[in-house]
Amino acid sequence: ECLTAPKDEL
């Protein structure tokens, strides 16, 4: 389901 990674970048 979760295809995109968490937004942990700046």
Partner 1 sequence: MNAFRLAGDMTHLLSVVVLLLKIHTIKSCAGISLKTQELYALVFAARYLDLFIHFISLYNTVMKLVFLASSFSIVWYMRRHKIVRRTYDKDHDTFRHHFLVLPCLALALLINERFTFREVMWAFSIYLEAVAILPQLVLLQRTRNIDNLTGQYVFFLGAYRVLYILNWIYRYFTEPHFVHWISWVAGIVQTLLYADFFYYYIMSWKNNVKLELPA
Q: At its nearest, how many Å lie between partner 1 and the CB of residue 1?
A: 10
Q: At its nearest, how many Å lie between partner 1 and the CB of residue 10?
A: 5
Q: For residues 1 and 9, what is the distance between their CA atoms, to the nearest angstrom?
A: 21
Question: Maximum Cα–Cα distance for the chain, whole Å?
Answer: 24
Chain-centre distance for alpha carbon 9:
9
Instruction: Tell me the two tokens of residue 5.
Output: 């990674």
The site for partner 1, by CB under 8 A, has a size of 9
Name residues contacting partner 1, limited to 1-10 (CB under 8 A).
Answer: 2-10
Residues that bind partner 1 (CB under 8 A): 2-10
